[in-house]
A and B are shown apart, each in its own frame.
Chain A
């Protein structure tokens, strides 16, 4: 394939890069303190990229640039998810910053670069591309966390995130270098071919695999590589937390699937064992510690950790397509989780005001009296997060557990259910606070119409997906070739 023919597959990423650079320049020269132009351009870019991805939806997997880059249905589904989630993130964020008069164009520009990193991760087909995308995303995110320069907690969170992220990057890179040394290739399918061709067990490969898994675990936020999450989620401006908690999770999922399933399927038995440990620890620690939290952002951070455990559980089956749908459950899970997470942080943003962040659990007391509709939306979100039927969160858990049972890990499925039950406590506590407690104050909930609309749709989407989950499940399984 000629270079020009190959470039076609990169069009969404290239478009985003060019648009992001243009917006950076526009923003620098814009005098509008409201940054409306930057916001609109950023949203336009995301929509454009989304449409391009949909337009270029590949029927088959095509790898280009010496197999460093792949265009397949999985990457397309992930990219669509990332773009769509980011669009909603930006719209909630705009409301957040506008209320606080702290709107900075950099937020959107950095966000776009992070999205670019994520898109690259989704399409990465060599360890080099994976790392490239990961770093592009991570560096943008570090900067976004630190954006409120005046805020002590934000700076602290940024430093923690940066240092630990650097450590994780180092570990990942070290693992990649060992794998390269052992196999002599960076390209994932070639690595897989090398691993399966080996005659005896190669210690070096497993050694490198452990480092790679740790790098993935850090990005997903699995125990014991999760420590950064609560502090960063709590310390960052809520709009940044919202971004951190959604799209990058999808990208991290992409990274995990690319590296483990595409690159090291022959070592399935080894990484499966590691993932089991990580997933059980995450579900246990996340759900249990969340119970004693008093800050909603921290509580949701631990909930993220618990959900990461579930997500890892879904990756476990890998490509065991003989008994089930492989990791299709995880794909479904990560999409649904991104929607739930969006909504949950969206409600925190909705309630927060300039002078009052409303991120304590007490702030949810009596929400049903202050705003019955948004209390209802929050109820949908909480039920869905807890995995109560018939909401989408239930189907996500069901799908993952079904696949885990299919590969024969009954006890793992059972423990997942038990930890979900424990987790239900703190989600339902929010519902209890909203509906059964008296409000501490009757402050009116102010929000733009766009925010109200988006949040309502976000919550209802879970209900609708809960009633008709079949379509999305079909998409998830078709990605794996069903």
Chain B
């Protein structure tokens, strides 16, 4: 059985890779149809086999698979292997990743129909699926890092997919560089793991975690750092980059320069969740460092609240969704910090579906409006695009945590988990996520109303051609809408309160109290839902929707008036807290300045000027001087010979005496 499953796992990983290679390298021969067929089949195989693996583990009581399939290299006592750890955590991720990716492959046929880089695009997204699957299925840090970097690379390629656009190039570079900052921390974390655990294998590392937890190191004399805290924070810095947590969040909104399917696949549903997944995977380590957990909690809270606020002032439909992603990732991070890993993954799963849905709905609108993304030029679209409208509504309701939708269960669990957390900083985090609910509802329905309701602000030209998107677009919307609605209710019981994950996640007894208490009061989905009406979050969500209705349907002139009276604050939000400007000036400018300094002073002056050209000048000069010895006079030459003879005599005959 193990060998049989191993082949299935291999096929899950490799079939998207094969599809990507064929579409990428032979795209010209197989044509556009060939490219989308081969990749869709490849990812489809992955999705189907992921379901098989899911069934095997969840329902048939299959064994956890943990083995190396290939030894890459052995050096200095370390073995670098390619291997799989397939347990209930990774199999959940596999299903989400491959399934969402598959839907997006299909959707792409419609969205990219007229793009000249069609085959390239399919190759990239298939390659991305491969990279992400390698990441989640890994059983060691080495392969994790490979997947980590590979998704970063594909993300870079895809944000800059329209490489003729200045802004796309800028955005892709920005994403890559900001991720590099995170990856630097991540790499240090991996290196520290290798140093202290002498292994990169998850299970070996986890089994030694208790022993390492007591160790300290003092890089600066007088300060003692816990090794575990250092490792955890370094790894989390990587997660901050990949999952766009404050203050490394700046790349995500800009990444909307990429085609919409990419925003849906990479910058909403999967890649950005790699950080969340990684922390959950490392839960045996994180449980041993309260400092790291507090840090995560606060970073998540800041991201959840402040990034949500920015969503209020955006006019680009995709950017609103992007900020909502940032905010939702903040929620997941908060859950991680509160040791509610299961809840974080739960929100990750629900979010993957409803966020992909929202992005694809936004994409559908964008297609219909001929690549118009400004919500001020939309409005009233529900008449023309009923499917998009309806699925968009489902997505928005799920996003704000409307009762019975999937987002409701996951978000409510997070808020409850934070409420019960005893960690330092959990009080602030609780307030942040609570207020975040109102903000989320406000910006989500601001977007929804501006796009689908209110007066039509569409230009006449686009209005004439306005129609619902084709089936390749609406079918994935419909398919994604179903899990967006129901998956929360289905999974909340087992995933949050049951033993869905078995041993995949580890929570220490003291941290588990909150969840256990929630579990003790859990009486079933209906009870959970009805109980929620006695708590603030649901009412805050309703309040948010109501406010949005007031501002954008009932009294559309209000927002402008508010902007007028809070100009400074508004400007502060529009400028995204001036993060871009500061980074641009300090880091980008500083790095360029330092580079220029080193180039002009160091390279041009010292290395080129003094060392390289200086040497050349000295040699040329001495060449000119020495050549004058060649006077042309015979007696000079003879004299030189005699002198040479005498010198040799002096040196060597003298030596003998």
Contact = CB atoms under 8 A, between A and B. Distances in A.
Interface of A: 159-160, 163-164, 167-168, 171, 201, 203, 206-207, 209-211, 213-214, 217-218, 223-225, 227-228, 230-231, 270, 273-274, 277, 285, 288-293, 422, 425
A230 B626 CA distance: 13
B130 to A, nearest CB: 41
A140 B389 CA distance: 105
15 contacts: A210-B648, A210-B652, A214-B644, A224-B643, A224-B644, A227-B636, A231-B632, A277-B648, A288-B626, A289-B623, A289-B630, A292-B620, A292-B623, A292-B627, A293-B627
Given A274-B652, A291-B623, A163 B645 contact: no
A242 B201 CA distance: 70
B174 to A, nearest CB: 40
B656 interface: yes
Interface string B606-639: 0000000000100110111011001010101110
Contacts of B630: 227, 230-231, 289
A218 B645 contact: no
B4 interface: no
Given A164-B641, A203-B653, A288-B619, 13 more contacts: A160-B637, A163-B634, A164-B637, A206-B655, A213-B648, A214-B641, A225-B640, A227-B637, A274-B652, A277-B648, A288-B622, A293-B627, A422-B619
A289 B638 contact: no
A39 B652 CA distance: 48
Main secondary structure of the interface of A (DSSP, over half): helix
A209 B640 CA distance: 19
Contacts of B59: none
A163 B638 contact: yes
A214 B656 CA distance: 18
Contact of B637 (A211, A214, A228, A288): A228
User: Range of interface residues on chain B?
Assistant: 20 to 34
Contact of B649 (A210, A218, A285, A425): A210
Contacts of B641: 164, 167-168, 171, 214, 218, 224-225, 227
B645 A210 contact: yes
B652 A227 contact: no
**CB-CB nearest 10 A-B residue pairs:** A227-B637, A224-B644, A292-B623, A291-B623, A288-B623, A224-B640, A210-B648, A289-B627, A214-B645, A206-B656
Contacts of B626: 285, 288-289
A160 B637 CA distance: 9
Contacts of A288: 619, 622-623, 626
B657 interface: yes
Interface of B: 616, 619-620, 622-624, 626-627, 630, 632, 634, 636-638, 640-641, 643-645, 648-649, 651-653, 655-657
Contacts of A203: 653, 656-657
Contacts of B649: 207, 210
Contacts of B624: 292
B131 to A, nearest CB: 40
A243 B382 CA distance: 96
A291 B620 contact: yes
A288 to B, nearest CB: 5
Given A203-B656, A289-B627, A292-B623, A159 B634 contact: yes
Contacts of B648: 210, 213-214, 274, 277
Nearest to B636: A227
Contact of A225 (B627, B644, B652, B655): B644
Contacts of A291: 619-620, 623
A201 B643 contact: no
A210 B654 CA distance: 12
A459 to B, nearest CB: 28
A289 B624 CA distance: 7
Contacts of B636: 227
B624 to A, nearest CB: 5
A206 B623 CA distance: 34
Contacts of B657: 203
A289 to B, nearest CB: 5
B257 to A, nearest CB: 43
Nearest to B632: A231
A207 B619 contact: no
Contacts of A289: 623, 626-627, 630
B90 to A, nearest CB: 51
A24 to B, nearest CB: 31
Nearest to B620: A291
A11 to B, nearest CB: 38
A77 B433 CA distance: 91
B646 to A, nearest CB: 9
